[in-house]
Amino acid sequence: MNYLKKTFVFPLLFFILSACVSSPPQHPDNICSIFQEKRHWYHVALKTEKKWHVPFSIPMAMMYQESGFHSNLHTKRTYFLGFIPWGYITTAYGYPQAKTDIWHEYEHVTHQRSSRENFADSLDFMDWYITISHQQNNIAVQDAMQQYLAYHEGWGGFRRKTYLHKPWLVNVAQKVSIRSSRYSHQYARCEESLKDKSFWSWLF
């Protein structure tokens, strides 16, 4: 009996742990492929969109731009004396490339402990940030370009229009807007096929 339990439990545990491994999707340019590969992400995206009323195509496009969907991405490393690793340029980290101070503010406001390496936490953070950008700077939550500029420059920086001195950033924001629109159109074509409510589909 114990042997049978082990032969069932160990493989199940292996598959569950394998499902939790944080690796970027193989085809990040296509939201349908992302959600087919990362079924949990699909359910998280729908849940988060319902919670914040922010189209998931926007934070997903922003996340692609910020980290390429890499869960443990750091900013560029700094070096002491030119060769000794000595921290990073900024504290931006994880899926959302959120800096530590704003991440702690998010945790304080939402009364929860979160991880920038966790996709669900990161998407929730980005929707929270987008919502505050709408409240403070009157940026429509559907405006991917302006939302990305506020995300990159901060709420105060956006009000001061610091992005006007950074033409490269405006170009990047335009790319984020295009990607968000592309994600939205792609999802419209695969929405029905993604509606699989089985337990294993949700888990994997």
The verdict on residue 16 lying in a domain is no
Q: Structural domain of residue 61, as residue ranges? A: 24-203
Residues, the chain:
204
Count of domains in the chain? 1
Q: What is the CATH number of the domain that holds 122?
A: 1.10.530
The verdict on residue 12 lying in a domain is no
Q: pLDDT value at position 89?
A: 52
The verdict on residue 14 lying in a domain is no
Structure tokens at 49: 């969109």
pLDDT in tens, the chain (204 residues): 454 444 444 444 444 444 445 789 999 999 999 999 999 999 999 999 999 999 999 999 999 999 999 998 755 533 333 434 434 457 889 999 999 999 999 999 999 999 999 999 999 999 999 999 999 999 999 999 999 999 999 999 999 999 999 999 999 999 999 999 999 999 999 999 998 654 445 454
The verdict on residue 4 lying in a domain is no
